[in-house]
Structures are given as structure tokens and as C-alpha cells.
Amino acid sequence: MKQYYNDFGTWLRQRFPYKVQKISIDAGFTCPNRDGLTGRGGCTYCDNRTFNPAYCNRKKTITEQLEDGKRFFSKKYPAMKYLAYFQAYTNTYSPLESLRRMYEEALSTEDVVGIVIGTRPDCMPEALLDYLEGLNKQTFVLVEYGIETANDRTLLHINRGHDFACSRSAVERTHARGILTGAHIILGLPEEDREESLRQAPIISALPIDILKIHQMQIIRGTRLAEEYVEHPFHLYTPQEYIELIVGYIQLLRKDLVLDRFVSQAPSDLLVAPKWGLKNYEFANLLMQHLRHTQAFQGQYARHSSGLLL
């Protein structure tokens, strides 16, 4: 079966001689857009509970969370190694010595073979890049930036607290150190339609990123965006609309760019909209069917297929 893009699962298998799984960690960080350094209230769409798995608990130590995660995944895959995924909030927002202790605690855990650090582009000082550059020579390091959009007006609307120039600078500085660099974007943000997303695709693709993670817009209960959505509803994609957008979006990206994921699924009790009623694998199957029947992809993204990592 044909490979239509460079997926993250295949990329990992090419880098490691064993199966590797990310384990999410909540290390107790906050965010400069919440505590007043950059702003208050955080991004209008944000609620970290939507992506923290059950085993992820900031009341536990980093080691304890990793051990819980290992037990969770080992039930399915006994022979596995792990990447410690510092995911919740801004995982570079602390003094360097504190960050060093946390990262190295994670790396000292048995069967952990690298780290993934999720952060904001306005929270990457040069001193930390110095440290990560050295660490990268010893183990697997991936820094994942929340870019969300290349549109400054949207960034202001969602109270992101930085502009796209800041994202570009952080990505370029990280890439220049030889550190694997990822980006996260959201499709369907307020006032951004299909045409705007497709306009941005080449801009995002031109950044020196190695990995791109894409999510659909979700309205989460209790957020400021949920209040806005009730007062002034805006269009949210249906599954078919979103699949067609993703197909068009992929065609505008570099062929060597690794795509981590295309959707996120918030817990049903927190999700206001859109309620697609699809499991991740069901969405993956729909997308792959669409890709197979899209003439534009004939002969592209060759190699072997491994399906989507969702």
C-alpha cells in the first residue's frame, strides 16, 4: 500500500531499532501567558486537561509518571522503549538548573531513550539552547513549538501572546543548533477559513522544521473561546470538510516534512464542538481512503505505508 506522506511512526522506526512510544509528563509548569509575564488568562482555546492522559499526574514525580506510563503501554507492547514527552503547559518556562534536573531525571529512567519538549516560541533562551545542543549529542532531543497559526491577527484574537515572527525566530535558532524541531498548528481557528489555511501551508512548510503536528479546532468547555462560540458561533469543520482541507494542505508542504498527526480528540465531557463521533482510527481510515482516490497523490510520497499515528 502506497505511502502518501512521511508519517511520524515510520520516521521513528527508521531512527530506532525498536518500537518507541511517547509518554506524556506533567512536570508542574505554568505558562507566561497565564502568570502575567506575557499575559493573563492563557490562550482562549486552551485547557491542558484535553491532552493529559490518565497516567499523567503532576502530583507525582517525573519518574513516577514515567513508570506509570510504561506500565500502561507495556500491556500492549512488552518490548518497547520510550520518549519522555514534556507536554503540559510551557516546558521550558523555568530556570535552567531546574530544567536540567527535570530533563535528566526523565532520561535516567530505565528504557527512556530521549525527550520531547513542548513549549512556546517566546520561551527559548539562548542558554537553554546551549544546554539542549549539548544534550542532543548524547540522546534523542525534539523541541516542539506551539505556533498555531502564521496569521498575526489570529494570534492576537486568541490571546496567544506572541507573533509569527517570534515563532520563526525560535524555530530558526533551534534548527541552527542541529536540534530536531517540531511545530504544532491548529486548522479552523476563528476567522480562518479553508483559503486562509491553505495560504499559510507554504509559509509553515518554509520554516526549518522537521516535524509538523496538525489539529482541528475544538471548542473546550470552560474556555474563553467557548464563551465566544456561544455568543458568536463560527464555522467548525465537518469530518469531510476537514479531510478535504488536509488533503489540500499536504500537497502544499515539503515532501520531506514528517507529519505527526492530523486530529486531536478532547474528552467528551469537555468537548463543546465539533462532535464528530469518530474514533481516531475511523478518521484515519477515511483520510487514507480519500488520499487513495485523489489523483494529485498518484506517484507521490512513495516508499512503504504504515498508516497514521493519531
Place of cell 499559510: 200
Alpha helices in 194-279 (DSSP H): 194-206, 224-231, 239-251
Greater model confidence, 265 or 82: 82
pLDDT for position 169: 98
**Sequence-separated (6 or more) residues with CB below 8 Å from residue 240:** none
Identity of the amino acid at 41: G
Q: How many angstroms separate the Cα of 93 from the Cα of each of 59, 70, 102, 120, 292?
A: 18, 26, 12, 9, 43
Q: pLDDT per residue over 202-215, tens digit each?
A: 999 999 999 999 99
Between CA 12 and CA 1 the distance in angstroms is: 19
Q: Is the pLDDT of residue 220 over 60?
A: yes
Cell of 32: 507566561
Total residues belonging to the chain = 310
Q: Please give the DSSP secondary-structure letter assigned to residue 129.
A: H
CA torsion 182-188-191-194 (nearest 10°) is 100
Name the pLDDT band for 245 (thresholds 50, 70, 90): very high
**Sequence-separated (6 or more) residues with CB below 8 Å from residue 172:** 207, 208
117, 95 Cβ separation under 8 angstroms: no
pLDDT for position 150: 98
Helix 239-251 vs helix 194-206: angle between axes, to the nearest 10 degrees? Answer: 40
233, 253 Cβ separation under 8 angstroms: no
Q: How many angstroms separate the Cα of 181 from the Cα of each of 104, 130, 141, 290, 304?
A: 20, 15, 9, 29, 24
* Bond into 233 cis (ω within 30): no
Between CA 147 and CA 163 the distance in angstroms is: 9
Cell of 242: 476537514
Name the pLDDT band for 290 (thresholds 50, 70, 90): confident
CA torsion 97-98-104-109 (nearest 10°) is 160
Q: Please give the DSSP secondary-structure letter assigned to residue 38.
A: S
83, 114 Cβ separation under 8 angstroms: yes
Q: Is the pLDDT of residue 54 over 70?
A: no
Between CA 295 and CA 275 the distance in angstroms is: 30
Q: Is the pLDDT of residue 296 over 70?
A: no
Domains of the chain: 8-294 (3.80.30.30)
Other beta carbons within 10 angstroms of residue 14's beta carbon come to 11
Q: pLDDT per residue over 125-149, tens digit each?
A: 999 999 999 999 999 999 999 999 9
Q: Is the pLDDT of residue 279 over 70?
A: yes
Highest-scoring range by mean pLDDT, 25-34, 112-121, 277-286, 300-309: 112-121
Name the pLDDT band for 183 (thresholds 50, 70, 90): very high
Range with the lowest mean pLDDT among 1-15, 115-129, 152-166, 251-265?
1-15
**Mean pLDDT estimate for the chain:** 88
Between CA 201 and CA 64 the distance in angstroms is: 39
Other beta carbons within 10 angstroms of residue 203's beta carbon come to 14
pLDDT for position 30: 85
Provide the 3-class DSSP secondary structure of residue 78: coil
Identity of the amino acid at 202: P
What percent of the chain is predicted at pLDDT more than 90? Answer: 68
